Amino acid sequence: MLRILLVDDEPLVLIGLQGMLEWEKLGYTVCGTARNGKLALELIEREKPDIVIADVKMPVMDGLTLAHTCRERSALPAFIMLTSFEEFDYIKQAMGAGVVDYLVKLDLTPENLKNALARAAEKVKKERALLGEVPVQENLAESVRSYRERFFVRLYAGLFPDERSLEQPLQHMDLGLASDTYLVASCEIIANTELTPAQQLKLSFSCGRMLETTLQNYLPCYVAGADALRGNVLFCLTAQQAQSYRAVLRPLLERASQILYNYFTVRLLWAVGRPTGSLLGLARCCRENAHLQPLLTVEQPIQFVEVNEGDATAGKMQVVAQVQEYIKNHLSEKLTLADVAAVFNFSPNYLSQLFGKYGDSGFVEYITETRIAAAKEMLEQGDLKVYEIAEKLGYESSFYFSKVFKKVTGLSPREYQQGI
């Protein structure tokens, strides 16, 4: 369990924090409390906590000084700061001192405390790995998984120029992808309750692991995440299986869907692509799947792509869908027409024409609409400040973000949030 130290000069706050969560059930134990930074420093040296939750303003030694002092000595413990609205300038300094998160006392809830602790726990894990405190085997397994995920992201996006460029990554991962035929089934997870971003990631990871374990009992396959609640399953088929792939895959996907429903109470929607004899052909499969996915329903959760090779319109619509998916996954980055066109080896003029003819809106309009939709979700969740949302969505400043948001919605971000 991770050890937690609580530091605040108000006794009622300390009592409230201790009673706010079922610490042990969440994997934490409160190893002590302190009324000021000096006493906390002594406890940190003695108790070696992993995470410290400390008030910014305290007598003798404030929380910010405490964080700076500990940071000079070691990368741990991780700090979560408690603050009031008017102490924002302190917070900017604190984040520079290695503080993981800050929580406004008046807005403190069990949910945002748990989210902050989860972020702090992740920092502790990474720091321990850097210090060699995590078993080498665990580090290696995590690195391999991460490398494999990146490989599949590039493969499905069509970023490998030729078969030869696949040789080195395949050797490093020892995936064993030699097969007569390949097929990608794209999966969307439909949860029965609203989830925080952290819960979505946890659910997606757990579902992916169980999917791979279940399906590998029947066919060689690899599961890779696409975004928070979507993923792709690569199946390796024999030539005989490929001839009747619908009959082969439908019962397997139905069984896997039922197993995941039993465990996680989630529904799975499947867009199943056409077989291809080349790994490079999987990018085309994913584009076709993306075009089919909006048509999936809980009543018809498994559908197979039916596209004629000569259907140029469908192909171009699928290209637009793939570019749109790329934009959704890279909202924090600079998304100029030239930059995105270069990713897909198009000219900027051609990409602009594609969006104008086969998209619901133009290229720039689509990026703005997607960013504002994402901003609304973040504002509704209430976990981030306006300037943090602006940074996450690739805006140069919170002022410009607010200006665009108001132009699209008619409200400023704060007005929108207050009206929720």
- Alpha-carbon distance 257 to 300, whole Å? 13
pLDDT at 153: 87
**Contact criterion met (CB below 8 Å) for 291 and 316:** no
Any idea where the domains of the chain sit in the sequence? Answer: 2-131, 143-305, 313-418
pLDDT of residue 393: 93
- CATH class for the region spanning 313-418: mainly alpha
- pLDDT one-digit tens code per residue, 153-185: 889 988 888 878 888 888 777 677 888 899 999
**Parallel, antiparallel, or unpaired for β 51-55 and 181-191?**
unpaired
Alpha-carbon span 153 to 280, nearest angstrom: 12
For the segment 292-296, the average pLDDT, to the nearest whole number, is 85
Q: Which CATH number does the domain 143-305 belong to among 3.30.70.270, 3.40.30.10, 1.10.510.10, 3.40.50.2300?
A: 3.30.70.270
Query: Is the pLDDT score of 314 beyond 90?
Result: no
- Exposure pattern of 135-167 as b/e (b: 16+ CB <10 Å)? eeeeeeeeeeeeebeebbeebbbbebeeeeebe
Query: Which has more pLDDT, 113 or 87?
Result: 113
Tokens encoding 328: 């959704």
Where does residue 85 rank: exposed (0-12), middle (13-18), buried (19+ CB within 10 A)? exposed
pLDDT of 137 reads 45
Residue type, 154: R
Please give the average per-residue pLDDT across 295-313, as a whole number. Answer: 74
Name the pairing type of β-strands 181-191 and 230-237.
antiparallel
Domain at 2-131, CATH homologous superfamily: Response regulator (3.40.50.2300)
CA dist., res. 409 & res. 38, Å (int):
49
Asked if 290 contacts 325 with a C-beta cutoff of 8 angstroms, the reply is yes
